[in-house]
Structure 1
Amino acid sequence: MLPCPFSLSPPLSSFPWSVQLWLGRYNLFEQEDTKQFVHVSKSFPHTQFNLSLLKSHTTYPEEDYSYDLMLLPLAEPAQISDAVKVLELPTQEPQLGSTSCASGRDSIEPHPFVFPDELQCVDLGLLSNVCAEAHTQKVTDLRLRAGHLTSGKDTCVDDWGPGR
């Protein structure tokens, strides 16, 4: 699954278009035997996602991105390996303070943006809505918030990876 508005271009209205994914890729600029290149067969945005948010525009604080995810079935099965695995989803709601892992390639610096060559991963504690006060975008109870309040590493609004 991917966040809808920030991961896909061109917009959904022009689908079908070719979406391709790299699996098992750690470094964007090194040859890796673990990488797999796969095509996506369809896209399924969350039924409650506000598709008008996909239009290029200035982001406003009242906009709700709570359902900004999309299921992308692969056109062919991935080869399961040490680097490509099936994600185990939790069977119950996580508790505040428990640890979660976030990964991504988003900027590791707020200003100016610095994008890493390597996949970034960080273990984070689950937070209450306390991070809502620190962000300009709307944070709802439907969003999972995780981070370290003192380190600046979190998954709160306007952050699609573990680096900020």
Structure 2
Amino acid sequence: MALLKIRSENYNGECGGFLVSKNFVITAAHCGKGRNITVYLGAHNLNKKEKSQQWIRVQKMFPHKKYNKMTLENDILLLQLQHKARLTKAVKPIRLPKPRCRVKKGTICNVAGWGDTSVKSHFPPATLQQVDLRVNDTACQKRFAREYDPCTMMCADDPQGLKTPFKGDSGGPLVCD
């Protein structure tokens, strides 16, 4: 799991991301607003200086060639780090799915992040939060009929409707299997 601290003249924010190799992180393209992005790896509690933590600045950004800011289509961004991450027990790359690999409806997957935990929350949590969600394309097809494309998108929800990623969690991984 990666935390991105994004800073620029007009914007300060945070997003999630994930390490895919020693020097590359994937996130959402809409998270690439800042010119100064620092990636935090191996963190659990942001208020503590944990030995597992690594901070690495982003050297270069590679947004998807067909990224559309208005519709958020192809909302994916590859970040090249200034130097390789030190792989440890707490810092490991996530395996990407194989091409044409589909996750079956009903599969339980996990999301994590340091995003807000409620609409009323003005301060994100210091500790990494995680929740299990169920793959459910039907829910998104009903809710986002025109925008939802099951060939290029995947939808997951909480069966009780109580838990969801929120502001600050964008770009983080949905981990299945």
Q: Same fold (TM over 0.5)?
A: yes
Count of matched residue positions in the alignment of Structure 1 and Structure 2: 142
**Residue equivalent to 2:108:** 99
1:68, 1:151 → 2: CA distance? Answer: 25
**Residue equivalent to 2:13:** none
**SS in structure 2 of the partner of residue 21 of structure 1:** strand
Q: Tell me, which stretches of 5 or more residues in structure 1 are unaligned?
A: 11-16, 54-62
1:159, 1:134 → 2: CA distance? Answer: 21
The equivalent position to 2:33 in structure 1, one of 2, 9, 23, is 9
1:111, 1:129 → 2: CA distance? Answer: 29
Matches within 5 A, 1:1-164: 1-5=26-30, 7-10=31-34, 17-50=35-68, 53=69, 63-91=70-98, 92-131=101-140, 133=142, 138-141=147-150, 142-154=152-164, 160=170
Aligned residue identity for 2:112: S
TM-superposed deviation, 1:151: 3.5
Give the TM-score, by structure 2 length.
Answer: 0.68
1:129, 1:69 → 2: CA distance? Answer: 23
TM-superposed deviation, 1:42: 1.0
Which protein has greater RCO, CA pairs closer than 8 Å, 6+ apart?
Answer: 2
2:117, 2:32 → 1: CA distance? Answer: 21
Residues 147 and 155, structure 1, Cα contact 8 Å, conserved in 2: no
Give the TM-score, by structure 1 length.
Answer: 0.73
RMSD: 2.8
Aligned residue identity for 2:46: L
Q: Tell me, which stretches of 5 or more residues in structure 2 are unaligned?
A: 1-25
**SS in structure 1 of the partner of residue 59 of structure 2:** coil
**Residue equivalent to 2:17:** none
